[in-house]
């Protein structure tokens, strides 16, 4: 292990043994200022990390770990446009896409902002023309539905955000998202739509992704069949870095919006990949969304480490992953409109940090990305919270909640917030055996029943969570939240010394799929040459299809 890191990790491990003797709840007993001391703010956005098994010494050691790993230098390199994505030889500059400051951003010595602004203005103008009805379909009618065809980073971001910001979508067409190569996805999405009033956006950084190209070809065929071949150009737009491939597909050049290889797919929502979102929420709201992210960039670059929210979040994640050995992390928004937020974060986090090789090619010396998962509360309370409260391995949670509702009833919202607060307190405090017995006794149960029931009703407590609270979920705050998690993930990648910006782990499956697809498509294709495990399954499928 890197020597400085090894020393600090050893100190953290020793301190953990100390801390493990004290419950999180008891840390509040000894420190009436704990809530204030263990929370950080960016304007209205509060990051409360008081309900963690952490004290100021643990925090100091974690900050030392960040320094040992050279976090400040690596952050500088990120923002300087250095080619930190070593295995692809690329800079990582999605922050340029939300730079509204007018300041230049250099990549390889060249200011990329003129191109960024030109494309941004072009796609936002296009979005406005779709919304206003200035641009119409082949029959002269306005568009009332927009279907984004893309997958991974070309789908999850705009799909999650369009849902999150639904109250801000007034006046725009409805946004739909088709991603899966499963034909059911496009069939079910298109079934209720009128193609003459539908615009398709083909979103693909590479414009080669099997799922997207297959869905794009199907959509094209459907439009040509319903409205005639000549109508295709009126019903398609595209977003890609591969403008030559888009041209081959036959999309009008004034409806093609580019971006650059220094924007990773899962970091591309800020680019024209956000077109479907921009059409849904409009130019002004989209710019607010960018502004929120830009302000979070500033917070990340300018705030001292001990008050820096992405840094604190990243370090707390490291504390549990590497010192406590917890393998999962839940993100639970108490906001139904953030229903796809955890799915979005799954790609952002696990495609970035789900790696076991360090930047230099050596095996990692620390465990990396935990499993990221979650669903909105309160629904989760009636599903998986059982495991959060009484499962055998604690799972740290991020609770996200707005102080005020947007286009929803105040009373419902007050109950929503109450549930969120109750859950994080319950996870921390638990209920011990003695209290359980007293409660059962007060309920008039017999000694024997109490003896039987009590162990099942004990809540171990001491289960950590953070709470992120903000005024309301609007475009500005959604922009802040996404950028917050982007930077948290970057911080962890620095501690783990991994490249968060490539994704070679997705390649092997893609390759095998193209090799074996012919044998699945053609029932008479020979199976020799295929792995027996796969050949066996293809053979079994053939027999089922044949009525066997």
Active site residues: 351, 382, 510
One residue of 64, 142, 166, 206 binding ligand F6P per CB under 6 A = 206
Q: Which span (112-120, 151-159, 295-303, 489-497) binds ligand F6P, by CB under 6 A?
A: 151-159
CA gap 246, 470 in Å, rounded: 41
Binding mask 100-139 for ligand F6P (x = CB under 6 A): ----------------------------------------
Could you say whether residue 212 binds ligand F6P (CB under 6 A)? yes
Closest contact distance (angstroms) between CB of 398 and ligand F6P is 23
Full DSSP string of 282-298: HHHHHHHHHHHHHHHHH
Prior bond to 378 cis, omega within 30?
A: yes
What is the phi/psi pair of residue 470, to 5°?
A: -140, 165
According to the binding rule CB under 6 A, does residue 7 interact with ligand F6P? no
Site membership for ligand F6P, residue 14 (CB under 6 A):
no
Alpha-carbon Rg for the chain in angstroms: 26
- Give the residue, chosen from 39, 50, 99, 154, that forms a contact with ligand F6P under the rule CB under 6 A: 154
**CB of residue 521 vs ligand F6P: minimum separation in angstroms?**
21
Q: Shortest approach of ligand F6P to residue 151 CB, angstroms?
A: 5
CA torsion, ordered 123, 127, 128, 130, to nearest 10 deg: 130
26 C-beta neighbours (distance < 10 Å), count: 11
* 151 belongs to the binding site for ligand F6P (CB under 6 A): yes
Cβ 45 to ligand F6P, closest distance in Å? 27
How does strand 45-48 pair with strand 106-107? unpaired
Query: Which of 152, 282, 396, 430 is close enough to bind ligand F6P by CB under 6 A?
Result: 152
Residue entry with tokens 């999150």: 164
Check: CB of residue 12 under 8 Å from CB of residue 65: yes
Q: Does 209 bind ligand F6P (CB under 6 A)?
A: yes
The piece of 95-103, 128-136, 162-170, 202-210 that touches ligand F6P (CB under 6 A) is 202-210
- Whole-Å CA distances, 133 to 136, 144, 177, 192, 374: 6, 9, 21, 21, 38
Can you tell me the distance from the alpha carbon of 16 to that of 507, in angstroms, rounded to the nearest whole number? 39
> How far apart are alpha carbons 46 and 55 in whole angstroms?
19
The 10 Å Cβ neighbour count of residue 101 is 11
Kindly state the smallest distance separating residue 158's Cβ from ligand F6P, in Å.
12
β-strands 465-470, 397-402 pairing: parallel
**179 scored as a contact of ligand F6P (CB under 6 A):** no
B/e letters for 483-509, b = 16+ CB within 10 Å, e = fewer, are bbbbbbbbbbbbbbbbbbbbbeeeeee
**Cβ-contact 25, 51 below 8 angstroms:** no
The answer to whether 503 contacts ligand F6P (rule: CB under 6 A) is yes
Closest approach, Cβ 363 to ligand F6P, in A, equals 23
Which 349-388 residues touch ligand F6P, going by CB under 6 A? 351
Q: How many residues bind ligand F6P (CB under 6 A)?
A: 14
**Interface with ligand F6P, residue 204, by CB under 6 A:** yes
Which region among 161-169, 199-207, 284-292, 361-369 touches ligand F6P (by CB under 6 A)? 199-207
Taking the C-alpha atoms of residue 109 and residue 107, their distance in angstroms, rounded to an integer, is: 5
Q: Which of 205, 321, 340, 488 binds ligand F6P (CB under 6 A)?
A: 205
- Interaction of residue 157 with ligand F6P, rule CB under 6 A: no
Query: Are the C-beta atoms of residues 82 and 275 closer than 8 Å to each other?
Result: no
- The residue among 99 and 204 lying less far from ligand F6P, judged by its C-beta, is 204
Based on CB atoms, which residue is closest to ligand F6P, 210 or 543? Answer: 210
* Segment 505 to 524, residues that bind ligand F6P, using CB under 6 A: 506
- Shortest distance, CB of residue 327 to ligand F6P, whole angstroms? 23
Query: In whole angstroms, what is the distance from residue 236 CA to residue 202 CA?
Result: 7
Can you tell me which residue has the tokens 């917030």? 417
Tell me how far, at minimum, the Cβ of 211 lies from ligand F6P, in Å: 8
Give the binding site for ligand F6P (CB under 6 A).
151-154, 204-206, 209, 212, 265-266, 351, 503, 506
């Amino acid at each position: 292990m890197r020597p400085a890191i090894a020393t600090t990790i050893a100190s953290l491990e020793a301190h953990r043994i100390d801390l493990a003797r004290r419950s999180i709840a008891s840390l509040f007993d000894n420190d009436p200022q704990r809530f204030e001391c263990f929370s950080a703010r960016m304007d209205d956005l509060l990051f409360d990390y008081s309900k963690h098994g952490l004290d100021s010494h643990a925090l100091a050691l974690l900050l030392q770990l960040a320094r040992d790993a050279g976090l400040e230098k690596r952050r500088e390199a990120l923002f300087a446009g250095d080619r930190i994505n070593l295995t692809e030889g690329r800079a990582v500059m999605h922050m340029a896409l939300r730079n509204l400051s007018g300041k230049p951003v250099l990549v390889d010595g060249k200011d990329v902002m003129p191109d960024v602004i030109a494309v941004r203005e072009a796609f936002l103008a296009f979005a406005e023309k779709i919304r206003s009805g200035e641009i119409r379909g082949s029959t002269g009618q306005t568009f009332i539905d927009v279907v984004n065809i893309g997958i991974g980073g070309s789908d999850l971001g705009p799909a999650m955000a369009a849902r999150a910001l639904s109250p801000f979508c007034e006046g725009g067409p409805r946004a739909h998202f088709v991603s899966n190569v499963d034909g059911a996805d496009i069939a079910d999405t298109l079934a209720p739509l009128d193609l003459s009033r539908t615009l398709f956006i083909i979103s693909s950084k590479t414009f080669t992704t099997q799922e997207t190209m297959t869905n794009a070809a199907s959509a094209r065929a459907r439009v040509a069949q319903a409205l005639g071949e000549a109508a295709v150009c009126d019903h398609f737009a595209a977003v890609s870095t591969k403008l030559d491939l888009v041209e081959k597909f036959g999309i009008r050049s004034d409806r093609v919006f580019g971006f650059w290889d220094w924007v990773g797919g899962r970091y591309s929502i800020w680019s024209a990949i956000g077109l479907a979102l921009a059409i849904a929420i409009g130019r002004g709201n989209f710019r607010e969304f960018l502004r929120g992210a830009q302000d979070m960039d500033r917070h990340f670059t300018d705030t001292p480490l001990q008050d820096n929210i992405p840094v604190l979040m990243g370090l707390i994640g490291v504390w549990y992953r590497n010192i406590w050995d917890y393998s999962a992390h839940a993100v639970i928004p108490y906001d139904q409109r953030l229903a796809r937020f955890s799915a979005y974060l799954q790609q952002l986090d696990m495609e970035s940090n789900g790696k076991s090789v360090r930047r230099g090619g050596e095996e990692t010396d620390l465990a990396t990305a935990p499993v990221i998962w979650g669903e909105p509360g309160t629904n989760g309370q009636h599903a998986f919270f059982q495991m959060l409260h009484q499962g055998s391995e604690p799972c740290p949670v991020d609770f996200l909640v707005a102080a005020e509702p947007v286009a929803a009833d105040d009373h419902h919202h007050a109950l929503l917030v109450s549930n969120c607060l109750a859950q994080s307190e319950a996870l921390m405090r638990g209920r011990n055996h003695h209290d359980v017995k007293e409660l059962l006794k007060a309920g008039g149960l017999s000694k024997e029943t109490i003896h039987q029931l009590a162990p099942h009703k004990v809540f171990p407590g001491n289960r950590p969570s953070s709470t992120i609270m903000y005024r309301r979920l609007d475009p500005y705050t959604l922009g802040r939240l996404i950028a917050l998690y982007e930077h948290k993930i970057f911080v962890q990648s620095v501690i783990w010394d991994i490249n968060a910006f490539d994704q070679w782990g997705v390649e092997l499956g893609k390759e095998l799929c193209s090799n074996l697809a012919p044998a699945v498509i053609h029932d008479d294709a020979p199976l020799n040459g295929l792995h027996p495990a796969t050949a066996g399954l293809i053979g079994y499928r053939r027999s089922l299809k044949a009525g066997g």
